[in-house]
Amino acid sequence: MLEARDIAVLRGERMVFAGLGLRVAPGEAVVLIGTNGAGKSTLLRTLAGLLTPAAGDILWQGENVADDPAAHAARLRYLAHADALKAGLTVAENLAFWARIWGGAPREALEALGLEPLAELPARMLSAGQRRRLALARLVLAPCPLWLLDEPSVGLDAASVDRLGGLLRRHRAQGGMVVAATHVPLPLDAVRELRLEGYGA
């Protein structure tokens, strides 16, 4: 169980949100919606442990994640706006790099996102949609319970959105949790929405 309890986050001296609560149980998905600047990305970064709330707590199974940040980092995958690829490495080499850290099989990740024909292509030569597919392929490596996804479908064509939907369904069927920020509908069933209004958005 992931829980955000009465959290507040500041950006500079501006309050992004305050008194925010969120619970996500195994198999659940929560979609964050709201206008630009409402705090969707900020909330994801806070849940990932990359930002420290000005007030409140982020809990995992009732324990404060700030007490063991390394353990929290190991239980999640955070997909940000930036694809975080190594431009000089091939598609396969990028996945092999992360597999050395997390474990998992790069070949399965390539297949899951339809990237086999691009395996030997340097990441710098990929289109925006191909780069996003490669970033998503990291989710297929060693399983972890929590996926935090920031606009995961950006740049994807219809076939790739279908592949993303398959990944999300399998992850949840295995007890995984998803928190995703989006401006467009995602291929997710039985989701809860959390609307962020923000302050001064």
CATH number of 1-75+144-201: 3.40.50.300
- Which helix (DSSP H) or strand (DSSP E) does residue 10 occupy? strand 2-11
Q: What is the pLDDT of residue 4?
A: 97
Q: What is the pLDDT of residue 14?
A: 87
Return the domain boundaries, the chain: 1-75+144-201, 82-142
Instruction: Please tell me the chain's helix, strand, coil percentages from 3-state DSSP, rounded to the nearest 5.
Output: 35, 25, 40
Q: Residue 126: CA atoms inside 13 Å, Cβ hemisphere, count?
A: 29
> Model's pTM, two decimal places?
0.94
Q: What is the pLDDT of residue 198?
A: 64
Q: What is the pLDDT of residue 37?
A: 83
Q: Residues in the chain with pLDDT < 50?
A: 200-201
Q: Distance from CA of residue 103 to its chain's centroid?
A: 18
Angle at 173 between CA 168 and CA 176, to 5 degrees: 65
